[in-house]
Chain A
Amino acid sequence: MRYLPKSPSERQEMLAAIGTRSIEELFTSIPEKFRLRAPLDLPGPLSEAEIIQYFQKRAAENSRGYVSFLGAGVYQHLRSVAADALLQRGEFLTSYTPYQAEFAQGTLTAIFEFQTLMCQITGQEVANASMYDGSTALTEAVLMAERLTSRRHVLVARSVHPEYRQVLHTYAKNLGLEIEEIGYTASGQIDRAALKPDTLARAAAVVVQSPNFFGVLEEIPALAETAHASGALLVSAITEAVSLGIVRPPAEADIVAMEGQAFGIPPSYGGPYVGVIATREKFVRQMPGRLAGQTTDAAGNRGFVLTLATREQHIRREKATSNICTNEALYALAATIHLCLIGKEGLREQALQNLAKARFAQSELEKIPGVRRVFSGPTFNEFSLEFPRSVKMINAELLKEKIIGPFALGMQYPEHTKRAVICVTETTPRAEIERFAAAVRRILERPV
């Protein structure tokens, strides 16, 4: 077998050196009744060519050739092939967590750069080496807020990604946290009037997402002031990281939980992605996850090490800030490389293109009779529209024309049937936007 570097005679030599005659003798510690007598029922073995064939067939059974107007937490963005060339270097791909710093300065230096980039982008003072994704980053940010304030009530905007809220609920229910959901106004932003001082006084945090699930930007400075006035923290989630190319970063938030997928990581049917937690320096000892810090060796050479490890499970065990061990290091590296390539001007330009394309699409769609904007608040590359007929029906028809339609809100927000969130990025050609709008128009013109 091509992954096994031993010849049969070498195996015999090694068995002889051990003093056993057969490999079976090395498994006698397993009670006999549990030792398998027959090979497992598994497909294969396949040669490399056959493996490729299997996956090529699967790739042909998905959405190749379709254009998509889905956002909802995962975004189609440009990536450079240069990044992939670097990510496939064995020294990055096949190395381990950098616990032995002298032999892992490559990984540690890159983590330090990642942490720096995340701070620069979010306007926060310190960021960790990654969490699993945005949804678990948000959950961990809330748990962090609970530890910092010793309060158990959490106010979460309904406009936070539904799946993120579900994850928070799964974790919170066994930890005695009370989650209260706060609604939104006609602008699509969180209803500040519902954040009453006496509720806030019991709250560990107010949790918002910006741009939120409806695509609308939240007023972070004002929310931070409201929360802080009652001793609560502001936790801000970000799912569309490219927005930070032109949108004001949530510097006034106490903890930022971001999904970094938009930074050069393919959608890949849900993962792997890269979660980010960024916060103020004074909160760093309550922050979960790994951290790389700068230091020197005895000769004064600069180097980097994993640090503040007493927060983590391998030292603190049941008192750790989190159970996280394996994180998303390779994808933090992917995001780092991508951001270095796209750079200061490129990220801004990319964000501007997203804004322009989304506004163009919105104006084209709003020309269709019966289609109108739902929320009045400012949006980036996602926006919510109301349609005169069922979005489910429209999307079914669009699929026949190789268009994956927008996210229908009705399932997650029963008050929003016939409404959808449309996402347009810099990767959607104008011709496709026009084709999409024309198709929607045609579908709506058909008799009921």
Chain B
Amino acid sequence: MYPADYRYTKDHEWIKVQGDIGTIGITDYAQQELGDVVFVDAPKVGAKLAPGKSFGSVESVKAVSEIYSPVSGEVTETNPLLVDTPEKINTDPHSAAWLIKLKLADPKEVASLMDAAAYEAYIAEQTKEHSA
């Protein structure tokens, strides 16, 4: 379910790194929690992001999720698909519905993020807490 070559955050973002470009999106767990996505508020190209800082949000009818950058860098692209069809986040959260691409300021930051196995354990914990 969760691609092995991605890294994950506690706020349910994923990042896929190719060279010094990172592609960021939200995870399947996040889209399930949100429900049907109706709108994505994306940053502008050129925006400078820092780890833990919010760079936009994903909205459903009854909820808003802030999206936090896992790393530092500069936004190089935003996904045009999400402007007219934000619902793609519900169907393809890990592939077609990526949110932004950015040029990593410090590729070493990625190493401290969770890998797929750690993330799956994390969300198993979360699920247990919620039903407690």
Contact = CB atoms under 8 A, between A and B. Distances in A.
A–B interface present (Cβ within 8 A): yes
Contacts of A310: 39, 59-64
Q: Which of B41, B59, B60 has the most CB of A within 10 A?
A: B59
Interface residues of A, number: 6
B39 A315 contact: no
A316 B62 CA distance: 10
B11 to A, nearest CB: 16
16 contacts: A285-B39, A285-B41, A309-B61, A309-B62, A310-B39, A310-B59, A310-B60, A310-B61, A310-B62, A310-B63, A310-B64, A315-B62, A315-B63, A315-B64, A316-B64, A319-B64
Interface string A280-314: 00000100000000000000000000000110000
Nearest to A316: B64
Q: Which of A309, A310, A315 has the most CB of B within 10 A?
A: A310
Contacts of A316: 64
Given A285-B39, A285-B41, 7 more contacts: A309-B62, A310-B60, A310-B61, A310-B64, A315-B63, A315-B64, A316-B64
Q: Is the interface of B mostly helix, strand, loop or mixed?
A: strand
A319 B54 CA distance: 13
A162 B125 CA distance: 58
Interface in A250-306: 285
A315 B59 CA distance: 11
Q: Is the interface of A mostly helix, strand, loop or mixed?
A: helix
Contacts of A309: 61-62
Q: Which of B39, B41, B64 has the most CB of A within 10 A?
A: B64
A319 B64 CA distance: 10
Contacts of A319: 64
Closest 4 CB pairs of A and B: A310-B59, A310-B64, A316-B64, A315-B64
Nearest to B57: A310
Contacts of A315: 62-64
Contacts of B59: 310
A204 B19 CA distance: 40
A193 B24 CA distance: 49
Contacts of B41: 285
Contacts of B64: 310, 315-316, 319
A319 B59 CA distance: 13
A19 B83 CA distance: 59
Interface string B20-42: 00000000000000000001010
B14 to A, nearest CB: 23
Interface in B90-108: none
A66 B64 CA distance: 55
Contacts of B63: 310, 315
A315 B41 CA distance: 16
A114 B73 CA distance: 46
Nearest to B61: A309
A315 B65 CA distance: 11
B84 to A, nearest CB: 15
Nearest to A314: B62
B40 to A, nearest CB: 11
Nearest to B59: A310
A319 B63 CA distance: 12
A316 B64 CA distance: 7
A389 to B, nearest CB: 60
A392 B61 CA distance: 56
Interface in A60-92: none
